[in-house]
Amino acid sequence: MADLSSPVWFITGCSTGFGRELAKATLDRGWPTIVTARDKGRVADLAEGRDHALALDLDVTDAGQIAAAVKAAEEKFGRVDVLVNNAGYGYQASIEEGEEAEIRAMFDANVFGLFAMTRAVLPGMRSRRRGHILNITSMAGFMGLPSSGYYAATKHAVEGFSDALALEGAPLGIKVTCVAPGPFRTDWAGRSLKQTPNRIEEYAQTAGARMATTAGYSGKQPGDPARAAEAMIAATEAAEAPRHLVLGAIAYDNVTKKLGERLSQIKAWEETSRSADFPD
C-alpha cells in the first residue's frame, strides 16, 4: 500500500518518448509508478531496484491485459491516482489513399484502447472521490494537416470524450487534462509512425509533400520531452488543473491561431446560425 502523501501514477506506453521521460520523473520523485509497454522488458530498466515501481506488459487493445494491469496496480499500491493515457501511434496517408485496416488498427489503440483504460480506473477513482486523467492528444486534436487526417480524427475523438468525462468526473473529484504536444524530439516518426505512400499525383503537393518531410525532421524537433514531463507533473499539482495543456511554442502558436480563425468564421455566420430556429 502506497503512502497517501505520494500520488500513484499509471503510465501507458513507457518504452520511449513522453511515457519514458514522465516515468523517470515520477520515479525520481519517489512516487509509486506503474510503467507499462507491450513488452515489459523494454521498461524493466525503469523499475529495476525500485520498490515503488511496477513494470507490466500492457497492450491497450487487449481488454484482458488492461484488467490484469489495473488489478496488479491496485494490489501493489492500493489505488491509481493519476492515469496517463500515452500509448498510441500515428498513421499518415492522404484521405483517399488511407487503408481501412491501418485506420481501424490506429483507432483501436489511440481511441478505443484509451477509452477502455479510462473505464478500468474510474471505479477506484469514483469510490475515493479523487483522481486525475491525463490524455495525451496532439495539436492535431485541434486541427487537421495534410496526410494526418485519420490521426487527427483519433485525437479529435479523444478531445470530445475528455470534454464529457471532465463534466461527469468533476462532481466526483476526478480531473481531466488533455496534453496536446507539437513536435518533440522523440523517436515517434521513426518508431511510432506508419505510412501509406502517396501514389496519386494530385496529392503529391499536399499529403505527399508532408509525408516526405516527416522522417527528415526526426531528431530536429524543438520540443524537449523531459521538460514536457515536468509540465505534465505541474498540471497535476495545480490547484486548478488545466483542461487543456498545449506543449511547445509551435503547438501553442498553431492551436491559438486555429481557434481564433474558427471562432471568427462561426461569428461571421451568426445571423444565419440564429435564423435556423423557429421564429418566436
Q: Are 163 and 278 in contact (CB under 8 A)?
A: no
234-243: long-range contacts, CB 8 A cutoff, minimum separation 24 = 235/134, 235/177, 235/179, 236/7, 236/82, 236/132, 236/134, 236/175, 236/177, 241/132, 241/175, 241/177, 242/177, 243/162, 243/166, 243/176, 243/177, 243/178
* Nearest in space to 178 (alpha carbons), one of 142, 153, 150, 144: 142
Assess if residue 4 is contained within a domain: no
Task: Give the chain's domain count.
Answer: 1
Give me the mean pLDDT over the 42-46 stretch. Answer: 95
Check if 91 is active-site. no
Could you say which DSSP state residue 278 is in? P
198, pLDDT greater than 60 = yes
Q: What is the CATH number of the domain that holds 74?
A: 3.40.50.720
* Nearest in space to 33 (alpha carbons), one of 45, 22, 42: 22
For residues 132 and 165, give the distance between their C-alpha atoms in angstroms, rounded to a whole number.
Answer: 11
pTM score? 0.94
- Which residues constitute the domain of residue 94? 9-275
Q: Using alpha carbons only, what angle is made at residue 248 by residues 242 and 251, rounded to the nearest 5 degrees?
A: 85
pLDDT one-digit tens code per residue, 93-146? 999 999 999 999 999 999 999 999 999 999 999 999 999 999 999 999 999 999
Residue 183: per-residue pLDDT? 80
For residues 113 and 115, give the distance between their C-alpha atoms in angstroms, rounded to a whole number.
Answer: 5
pLDDT one-digit tens code per residue, 56-94? 999 999 999 999 999 999 999 999 999 999 999 999 999
Q: Which residue of the set 150, 151, 203, 252 is catalytic?
A: 151
Average pLDDT, the chain: 94
Give 172's pLDDT tier (boundaries 50, 70, 90). Answer: very high
Assess if residue 228 is contained within a domain: yes
* Nearest in space to 146 (alpha carbons), one of 70, 202, 102: 202
Residue the block writes with cell 477513482 = 125
Phi then psi dihedrals of residue 246, to 5 deg: -90, 130
Return the C-alpha cell found at 163.
Answer: 470534454
